[in-house]
Copies of this chain bind each other. A is one copy, B any other.
Amino acid sequence: MDQLLTDFRAGRTRALARAISICESGNGAPLMHAVYPLIGRARTIGLTGPPGVGKSTLCSALVAHARKLGLTVGVISVDPSSPFSHGALLGDRIRLTEHFTDPDVFIRSMASRGHLGGVSGATADAVSLMDAFGKDVVVIETVGVGQSEIEIAEIADTTLVALQPGSGDSVQVLKAGILEIADVFVVNKSDHPMALQLQREIRSMLEMLHFSGWVPALVATQALAGIGIDALWDAVVDHDRFLKTSGALEHRRRAAFAQRVRALALGALESRIDAALETLEDARDPYAAAAHVLRGFGGAGDAVGFRSRRARVPPRSSVKGV
């Protein structure tokens, strides 16, 4: 452990890789305690969007841009482990290989399935470790299915949502809560015949909304050709400046911290619930059984029921007049 910390502080990449593995295996507490004072410097960027939009190409282009600016980069590819998208994701990942030989780019794939708290579990630790290690920029990339795109917004300072021209569901997308997480909309493949229409649709949606601070930016890119990446980077820098001057950065990081504590505490309690379940003898109904199990947790009269859980990302917009 002491050797690991020495190597980590000396900037040895293998120590960073090892540290992330330790957190993934559930033994990160002493490590995180040691490195946590070092964090807070990195600019963290979340990148999400539907399969096929070109997220990995965008990610790769962003990394190349940051490197040109002399910044060191960490990339976390979150694989939601959908059996049905696995093949496609693997294909996508290959685009990042151009950075594999750059010692100042650290790339890590992480599975989200199998971790309580999904993306926000070990992934948040990995972001902290890359930050503490000294990476200037950390990009967290995930495919937008299920909860992952909400969770990424809880971790990242700036969330980019990439959209697909001609996919025909831009309005549905915008209705369904994506406006709550997008700091920057990216219309990739902007040479597509439907790209202008998609941009118009997004602009109309944005005009219908009231934003209390930051109004989501809209950038058109052709990531494969490297077109629009400088504008995208400028939007990220603009948002970063907004976060810092408005106090929103502090607010978001506090919310993200609370979410991590919540996930860790729930994980620990889950083990105890499992132990209590072993001793549960008679098959009452699930609610009665849960109330019985909860008696061992020092709280009297917990309310037992499936409640809807609100998104924990601070809302960034509200629909005018609705």
Chain A residues packing against B (C-beta within 8 Å): 23-29, 32-33, 36, 49-50, 80-88, 90, 113-117, 121-122, 124-125, 144-150, 168-169, 172-173, 175-178, 254, 257-258, 260-274, 276-277, 280, 283-291, 293-294, 296-299, 302-311
**Complex Cα distance A100/B126, Å?**
49
Which chain B residue has the least Cβ–Cβ distance from A174?
B83
**Complex Cα distance A8/B302, Å?**
28
Which chain B residue has the least Cβ–Cβ distance from A254?
B283
In contact, A289 and B257 (Cβ under 8 angstroms):
yes
**Complex Cα distance A24/B145, Å?**
23
Which 10 pairs between the two chains have the least Cβ-Cβ distance?
A: A298-B298, A146-B146, A26-B305, A83-B176, A36-B285, A264-B290, A87-B169, A87-B172, A268-B302, A29-B287
In contact, B272 and A299 (Cβ under 8 angstroms):
yes
In contact, A265 and B294 (Cβ under 8 angstroms):
yes
Beyond the given A50-B84, A86-B176, A262-B270, please list 20 additional residue pairs across the A-B interface where CB-CB is below 8 A: A26-B308, A29-B305, A33-B287, A83-B149, A84-B145, A84-B169, A84-B173, A87-B168, A114-B309, A115-B309, A117-B306, A145-B145, A262-B274, A262-B277, A264-B304, A264-B305, A264-B306, A265-B273, A268-B294, A271-B303
In contact, A306 and B169 (Cβ under 8 angstroms):
no
**Complex Cα distance A28/B24, Å?**
36
In contact, A28 and B287 (Cβ under 8 angstroms):
yes
In contact, B261 and A280 (Cβ under 8 angstroms):
yes
The count of identical subunits is: 2
CB-CB under 8 A for A306 and B28, given A147-B113, A269-B269, A293-B261 = yes
In contact, B296 and A269 (Cβ under 8 angstroms):
no
CB-CB under 8 A for A147 and B146, given A172-B86, A268-B294, A287-B29 = yes
In contact, B265 and A293 (Cβ under 8 angstroms):
yes
Which chain B residue has the least Cβ–Cβ distance from A270?
B266
In contact, A83 and B268 (Cβ under 8 angstroms):
no
In contact, B306 and A29 (Cβ under 8 angstroms):
no
**Complex Cα distance A285/B29, Å?**
9
What residues of chain B lie closer than 8 Å to A271, measured between beta carbons? 302-303, 307
CB-CB under 8 A for A269 and B267, given A83-B149, A84-B169, A305-B28 = no
In contact, B299 and A175 (Cβ under 8 angstroms):
no
